[in-house]
Chain A
Amino acid sequence: MAAGASSMPSVSERAPPAGPQRDRLIAGFAALAIAIHILEAALPSPLPGVKPGLANVITVVVLLRWGWGVAAWVAGLRVLAGSLLVGTFLSPTFILSASGAAAALLALWLAQRLGGRWLGATGYSVCAALAHMGTQVLVAWQLFIPHPAILKLAPFLLTAALVFGIVSGVIAAVVVDKLEAGPEAARA
């Protein structure tokens, strides 16, 4: 079923504007991602260091607009700069957010390969969110707290990740729409 394909150009067909405007936008998103990362660091979590991955909104927006390579760059920058700014560089929190981000990127790459034609922002976002949370729980369980109680928490966290994924997917879709409407609208 190729519904939607006619009204929505796929990722590869749309040529984003090149040049300094593009770079500024990307830098802007990276900054936003870092800001979200820092905000998230202030949120309490049932498992210390495990975060819902709200910054994945940015990753998905960048993915849809400029491709996986740029998304990976932005995510990597977010994790690195974010942790340096919050002061958790190389700490367990850093390992958790790095592995979460890496897993999310891998999931996005797979999703793009397998269903890039048909997936929208929400589908990507859910894949990224579940991969992010699932990996964080696994890493926390294996490396930091090998306690059976962690596994009891996992379903709660995965459910939350699913919900966050759907919500951030919708947000990402709205943002991408505004971006495509034109740079002036994006600033609004």
Chain B
Amino acid sequence: MKPLRPADLVVIVAAALLVGASWAALWSGGGPAEYAEISAPGTVPQRLALSSDAVVEIAGRLGASVIEVRAGRVRFNESPCVGRQCVHAGWLSRSGQVAACLPNGVVVEVGGGRREFDAVSF
């Protein structure tokens, strides 16, 4: 018997596709970060693709927060608030991660793919 008949190849390819689908279905949680959604008081949320580097100034209640996108990640560079928790949050890279400058009213959330968690307690 030939070890590999054409029909066998069909089965192998179909099986490979199925296995590939199982990777995609089960491992894409909290994964592909595609865009950063930036909301500020009084404006429509804007989206920045994480694929292209950018530095933007977002006007908030206290002044302008500077937000940077680089190498698929996003962070607050500067912010006029006193606590600077937003800046200390560092680089966000996974879908569902959020950094917010509450005093200034500016929120940055990473979106894309499927979320790992429905909510985070902190």
Select A118's contact among B3, B4, B5, B16, beta carbons within 8 Å. B5
**Cα–Cα distance between A166 and B6 once the two chains are bound (Å):** 14
CA distance A166 to B12 in the complex (A): 8
Residues of A within 8 Å of B8, CB to CB, are: 119-123, 126, 169
Q: Could you say which of B16, B18, B26 has the most chain A C-beta atoms within 10 Å of its C-beta?
A: B26
Query: Residue on A with the closest CB to B26?
Result: A151
Mark each residue of chain A from 148 to 166: 1 if its CB lies under 8 Å from any CB of chain B, else 0.
0001101100110010011
Question: Known contacts A154-B26, A158-B19, A162-B16: does B3 contact A119 (CB below 8 Å)?
Answer: no
- Smallest CB–CB gap between B75 and chain A, Å? 28
- Decide: A120 and B2 in contact? CB cutoff 8 A: yes
Binds B, one of A21-29, A40-48, A70-78, A171-179: A171-179
Task: Give the contacts of B1-56 with A (CB-CB under 8 A).
Answer: 1-8, 10-12, 15-16, 18-19, 22-23, 26-27
Interface size on B, residues (CB 8 A): 19
Q: Which of A1-9, A83-91, A98-106 lies on the face that meets chain B? A: A1-9
Given A151-B26, A158-B22: A4 and B15 interface contact (C-beta under 8 Å): no
Give Cα A115–Cα B16 distance, bound, in whole angstroms: 18
Contact of A120 among B4, B15, B22, B27 (CB under 8 A): B4
| Dominant secondary structure of chain A at its interface with chain B | helix
Chain B residues within 8 Å of A119, by CB = 5, 7-8, 11
Q: Interface residue tally of chain A, by bracket?
A: 20 to 34
CA of A174 to CA of B15 in the docked complex: distance in angstroms?
22
A155 touches B12 (CB 8 A): no
- Are the C-beta atoms of A122 and B22 separated by less than 8 Å? no
Q: CA of A138 to CA of B91 in the docked complex: distance in angstroms?
A: 37
Chain B residue contacts of A177, Cβ below 8 A: 1
Q: Chain B residues in contact with chain A, CB under 8 A?
A: 1-8, 10-12, 15-16, 18-19, 22-23, 26-27
Could you list some 28 contacts between A and B, CB below 8 A?
A: A8-B2, A115-B11, A118-B7, A119-B5, A119-B7, A120-B1, A120-B4, A121-B1, A121-B3, A121-B8, A122-B5, A122-B12, A123-B5, A123-B8, A123-B11, A126-B15, A127-B11, A130-B15, A130-B18, A152-B26, A154-B22, A155-B19, A155-B23, A162-B15, A166-B12, A170-B3, A170-B4, A173-B3
13 further interface pairs, Cβ-Cβ under 8 Å (given A64-B1, A121-B1, A177-B1): A3-B6, A119-B11, A120-B1, A120-B5, A120-B7, A122-B12, A126-B12, A155-B26, A155-B27, A158-B19, A162-B12, A169-B8, A170-B4
